[in-house]
Structure 1
Amino acid sequence: MKVQGNKLKEKLVTLKRVCKVTKGRRYFSFTALVVKGNKKGLVGFGVGKAKEPQNAIKKAGDKAEKRLVKISLKRGTIPHEQKAKHGSTYIFLYPASEGTGIIAGGVVRIVLELVGVKNIFSKLNGSSNPNNCIRAVILALTKIRNAYTISKERGISIKKIFEV
């Protein structure tokens, strides 16, 4: 999904030097993990590998741009609670009232800031591997549904959803 007009912000999450050892010598390369978002509901991540760090970061950024997903937000937070699992990483996201801020740590905070969330609680259990954390957070955010999508799925009007 190419973004027209909206500038994407890019954050480097990790940059690692990796080594392949063969009989003859060691081959060094770099692995970069990058998250991109426009702070208005679009976010994506990418992993790039290259012999130079700058090239790895550029490759990761290009992949992140190709994997952008749209997230539905409601007044700076998420519409409802959500949980997701990727590998052995469990993420729990809870909507928060105005003025709470982003209660999250590390990689989860980076993703939520680039999505554009202003108030949220989060809890991360299990593995804190950055790659799995990012995948779990984006999975949880993509599973969020707003009233419009629910009404469309059920084939009823939005007014009928809010009737008691």
Structure 2
Amino acid sequence: MARYSDQPANEVIDIRRVGKVTKGGKRLRFRVVVVAGDGEGRVGVGVGKSVEIPQAVQQGIRDAMKHLVTVPIRNGTIPHEVVGQFGAAKVLLRPAYPGTGVIAGRTVGAACRIAGVKDILTKALRSTNPLNLARATLDGFRQMESPEMVALRRGKALEEILEVEDVEAR
């Protein structure tokens, strides 16, 4: 399912009303955390801040599209287990069998769905701040290596790496 680059898939994760105290009183704005991507292995997290929520969302989408991460998806899931970390937030990402679905909380699940991952098991560890969890999820995606990258790094044939994965899956 190809998407147009000018219409990215996106999901608003968090909306907070923030204020700045000035001598004239409080200046209120909205901070919005958005996850955006193409649904085909690329996802990013962005933050937008504005007096009105729709403007903040648009800023967040633009910010997310500037910081896209590529996720190596294989058979609808991730290639291996990984722990992503950002600040005090930590997230465990595990591959899952086909048909499992996205087993995740709201923040991590949004990032996985927008990346195009169909089957994954996740667990948020430590802090559950939505922005930090989204960034920890992207850190986990950044750490992942596709079987092709592993084969190249080890100087082996791709078939050897995939053979080992098939034996471990049984």
- Taking the aligned partners of 1:5 and 1:16, their CA distance within structure 2 comes to 29
The structural deviation recorded for 1:85 is 1.5
- SS state at 2:11 partner: strand
Matched letter for residue 71 of structure 1: V
Output one character per residue of 1:74-104: Cα deviation in whole Å (capped at 9) or x when no partner.
Answer: 1000111111221111111111111111111
Q: Is 1:109 equivalent to 2:129 in the alignment?
A: no
Residues 15, 77 of structure 1: alpha-carbon distance in 2 compared, 3 angstrom cutoff: same
Within-5 A mapping of 1:56-135: 56-135=56-135
Output one character per residue of 1:89-134: Cα deviation in whole Å (capped at 9) or x when no partner.
Answer: 1111111111111111110111111011111111111111001100
The structural deviation recorded for 1:153 is 2.5
RMSD of the alignment, in Å? 1.9
Output one character per residue of 1:15-46: Cα deviation in whole Å (capped at 9) or x when no partner.
Answer: 22111112331111111111102221010110
Unmatched runs of 5 consecutive residues or more in structure 1: none
Q: Which moved more, 1:118-127 or 1:148-157?
A: 148-157
- Taking the aligned partners of 1:162 and 1:4, their CA distance within structure 2 comes to 30
- Sequence identity (%): 35
- Taking the aligned partners of 1:109 and 1:35, their CA distance within structure 2 comes to 10
Aligned residue in 2 for 1:38: 38
TM-score, L = length of structure 1 = 0.90
Q: Which moved more, 1:145-154 or 1:30-39?
A: 145-154
Unmatched runs of 5 consecutive residues or more in structure 2: 165-170
The structural deviation recorded for 1:147 is 1.7
Residues 117, 23 of structure 1: alpha-carbon distance in 2 compared, 3 angstrom cutoff: same
Residues 26, 146 of structure 1: alpha-carbon distance in 2 compared, 3 angstrom cutoff: same
Aligned residue in 1 for 2:150: 150
